[in-house]
């Protein structure tokens, strides 16, 4: 699970760059808006389907006398479908036919071309029932505005008892404009923490105690030891290409979706949308990153480096990585986690929208789509089948209850997409990397102890339609400044004001005003 989570976050870094193209100008943004506009007319019948089907299919139980419905389900892959897809699908259908009188046709969709694939399917009126959106926060509002996906609250009310009970407050992440458009995927760790991972080997070599590092000053002392004694090693790297050092230093904030401005609680208890480049916590984090760059802790090539920091630590090329994905495992076999000030992560709506499920507006049986999701989230069998494959074929269960997937080459999923992540079997390599944990029960208990604070704006989804031009312009400007400033390569005292002024010239105030207006309306409706 730990490995899966880290892979998810690395992928997200890459996808975010694609999604930024989506969020930036919504000319590329909402899945190439011209395609979506063409689709809208063809999917307007979605609401009609909702009205008629809800009346026809509200029965006491599932009808096993009718012909089994075939659900076309699109899910995400980083490249191509795994070789044993047909085998997994066959096993899954044994369950679905018995439990909900439906069979499933799985289709792997590359998350790097997901927007185009869904647009083409809809425009070609190709059968599509369930759509996995990854990252969901890049697509939810655009797809809902364009009628590519349908509201499903009536179906969830009828068939989604397991979903409602299991997800609880998470259901709010799927709501938009008063309707439920999506079901968030439930994972064990909903959000990672900002912090640093330090090489266990180098800490042991120089008697550095990661558990004693609680402040920025403590961390700098460790950095200095490595810089003085290991001149050939990079002291600090960002988690992945496109991520930043300052992001691991500053506090948590809620962007409230796409566009500029972050939600900040004021002294009077009101939520206000403010500009992040004028936020003192962010500015201070960038100052620290700049100081570290000047001291030589950060590589001069940071903006062009493509190597994964985790791999660099394992290879002995790097001492520390700045991360925003540290979870309850508190590190891995190669590195131990350090949390500055030990502040619990703030969970935002966007965090729970990383992976979401939506029902296509062209779906003929939305009730079956919701029944499938409802069945999955309560099924340990389906959760593990879709993640790890078939016991004895793709993995084996060891004496201590953990599983070994080392010989699995034909069904590898780097992230949980189906069911409930808390029902996943514990992998032997995961448990071995958690110091002091010797049983699966202890492992699960430690995962469950991970603390989060809910953002006061949790559940709010910003509709960027009225300010999409300004968002495109501001995103382009932030692309120019964000990484160079937040990775310490330029002095924020001279560059931050330039960034800020350009944002306001490009219409940032319009974005913040519109976001504030929608946020106030949302708060008033609660």
Q: State both tokens at 275.
A: 């500009």
Kindly state the average pLDDT of the residues 185-195.
92
Tell me what pLDDT residue 436 has: 81
Neighbours of 441 (CB within 10 A): 11
CA distance 352 to 168: 12
SS (H, E, C) 67-106: CCEEEEEEEEECCCCCCCHHHHHHHHHHHHHHHHCEEEEE
Q: Which of 8-17, 48-57, 143-152 has the highest mean pLDDT?
A: 143-152
CA distance 278 to 487: 17
Residue 48, class by beta-carbon neighbours within 10 Å (0-12 exposed, 13-18 middle, 19+ buried)?
A: exposed
CA distance 84 to 442: 33
Tell me what pLDDT residue 232 has: 94
Long-range contact set of residues 221-230: C-beta below 8 Å, sequence gap at least 24: 222/198, 222/319, 222/320, 223/292, 223/295, 223/297, 223/319, 223/320, 224/295, 226/202, 226/319, 227/295, 227/296, 227/297, 230/202, 230/319
Kindly state the average pLDDT of the residues 209-221.
95
The answer to whether the beta carbons of residues 197 and 321 sit under 8 Å apart is: yes
- The percent of residues in the chain predicted with pLDDT above 70, rounded, is 88
Q: How far is CA 503 from CA 139, 496, 510, in A?
A: 24, 11, 11
Tell me what pLDDT residue 11 has: 41
Q: Is the pLDDT of residue 387 over 90?
A: yes
- Paired sense of beta strands 318-326 and 234-238, if any: parallel
- Strand partners of residue 356: 133, 184
- Strand partners of residue 237: 321
Tell me what pLDDT residue 12 has: 40
The answer to whether the beta carbons of residues 230 and 222 sit under 8 Å apart is: no
- Strand partners of residue 346: 453
Which band of pLDDT confidence, cut at 50, 70 and 90, is reported for residue 9?
very low
The more confident residue out of 6 and 391 is 391
Q: State both tokens at 27.
A: 């000319």
Give 251-277 pLDDT, tens digit per residue.
Answer: 899 999 888 999 999 999 899 999 999
Q: State both tokens at 508.
A: 């940032």
Tell me what pLDDT residue 251 has: 86
Classified as helix, coil or strand, 108 is: strand
Tell me what pLDDT residue 85 has: 97
Q: pTM for the full model?
A: 0.85
Tell me what pLDDT residue 465 has: 93
Give 394-449 pLDDT, tens digit per residue.
Answer: 999 999 999 999 988 899 888 899 999 999 999 998 888 777 888 999 988 888 88
Give 451-470 pLDDT, tens digit per residue.
Answer: 899 999 999 999 999 999 99
Q: How far is CA 480 from CA 322, 486, 487, in A?
A: 21, 12, 13
Tell me what pLDDT residue 342 has: 78
Kindly state the average pLDDT of the residues 118-137.
95
- Find out whether the peptide bond into 135 is cis, omega within 30 degrees of 0: yes
CA distance 429 to 400: 12
Classified as helix, coil or strand, 264 is: strand
Give 242-252 pLDDT, tens digit per residue.
Answer: 899 999 998 89
Tell me what pLDDT residue 430 has: 87
Q: Is the pLDDT of residue 128 over 80?
A: yes
Q: How far is CA 326 from CA 110, 197, 245, in A?
A: 26, 8, 14
Q: State both tokens at 431.
A: 């448990």
Kindly state the average pLDDT of the residues 292-311.
93
Q: State both tokens at 61.
A: 């139980």
Tell me what pLDDT residue 329 has: 66
CA distance 476 to 478: 6
CA distance 260 to 276: 8
The more confident residue out of 30 and 322 is 322
């Amino acid at each position: 699970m730990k490995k899966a989570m880290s892979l998810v976050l690395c992928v997200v870094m890459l996808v975010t760059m694609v999604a930024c193209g989506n969020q930036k100008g919504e000319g590329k943004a909402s899945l190439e808006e011209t395609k979506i506009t063409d689709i809208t007319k063809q999917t307007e019948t979605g609401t009609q389907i909702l009205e008629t089907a809800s009346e026809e299919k509200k029965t006491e139980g599932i009808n096993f006398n009718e012909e089994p419905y075939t659900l076309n389900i699109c899910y995400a892959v980083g490249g191509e479908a795994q070789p044993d897809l047909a085998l997994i699908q066959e096993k899954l259908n044994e369950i679905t036919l018995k439990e909900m009188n439906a069979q499933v046709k799985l289709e792997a969709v590359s998350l790097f071309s997901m927007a185009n694939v869904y647009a083409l399917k809809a425009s070609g009126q190709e059968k599509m029932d369930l759509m996995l959106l990854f990252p969901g926060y890049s697509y939810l509002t655009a797809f809902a505005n364009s009628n590519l996906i349908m509201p499903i609250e009536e179906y969830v009310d009828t068939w989604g008892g397991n979903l409602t009970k299991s997800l609880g407050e998470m259901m709010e992440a799927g709501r938009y404009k008063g309707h439920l458009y999506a079901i968030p995927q439930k994972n064990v760790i909903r959000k990672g923490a900002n912090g640093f991972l330090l090489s266990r080997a180098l800490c042991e070599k120089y008697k550095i105690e990661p558990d004693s590092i609680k402040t920025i000053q403590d961390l700098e002392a460790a950095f200095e030891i490595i810089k003085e004694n290991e001149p050939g090693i990079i002291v600090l790297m960002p988690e992945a290409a496109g991520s930043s050092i300052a992001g691991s230093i500053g506090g948590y904030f809620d962007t409230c979706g796409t566009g500029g401005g972050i939600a900040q609680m004021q002294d009077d208890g009101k939520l206000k949308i403010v500009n992040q480049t004028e936020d003192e916590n962010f500015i201070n984090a960038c100052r620290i990153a700049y100081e570290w760059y000047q001291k030589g802790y950060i590589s001069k090539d940071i903006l062009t480096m493509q190597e994964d920091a985790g791999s660099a630590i394992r290879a002995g090329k790097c001492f520390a990585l700045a991360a925003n994905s540290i979870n309850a495992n508190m590190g891995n076999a190669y590195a131990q986690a350090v949390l500055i000030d030990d502040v619990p992560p703030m969970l935002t709506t966007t965090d729970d929208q990383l992976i979401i499920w939506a029902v296509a507006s062209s779906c003929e049986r939305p009730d079956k789509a919701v029944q499938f999701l409802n069945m999955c989230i309560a099924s340990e069998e389906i959760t593990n089948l879709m993640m790890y494959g078939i016991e004895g074929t793709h993995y084996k269960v060891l004496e201590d209850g953990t599983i070994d997937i080392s010989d699995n080459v034909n069904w590898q999923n780097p992230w949980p997409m189906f069911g409930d992540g808390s029902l996943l079997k514990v992998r032997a390599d995961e448990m071995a990397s958690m110091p002091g944990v010797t049983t699966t029960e202890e492992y699960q208990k430690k995962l469950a102890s991970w603390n989060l604070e809910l953002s006061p704006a949790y559940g709010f989804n910003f509709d960027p339609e009225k300010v999409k031009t300004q968002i495109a312009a501001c995103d382009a400007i932030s692309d120019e400044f964000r990484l160079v400033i937040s990775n310490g390569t330029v002095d924020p005292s001279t560059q931050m004001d330039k960034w800020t002024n350009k944002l306001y010239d490009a219409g940032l105030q319009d974005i913040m005003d519109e976001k504030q207006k929608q946020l106030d309306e949302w708060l008033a409706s609660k």
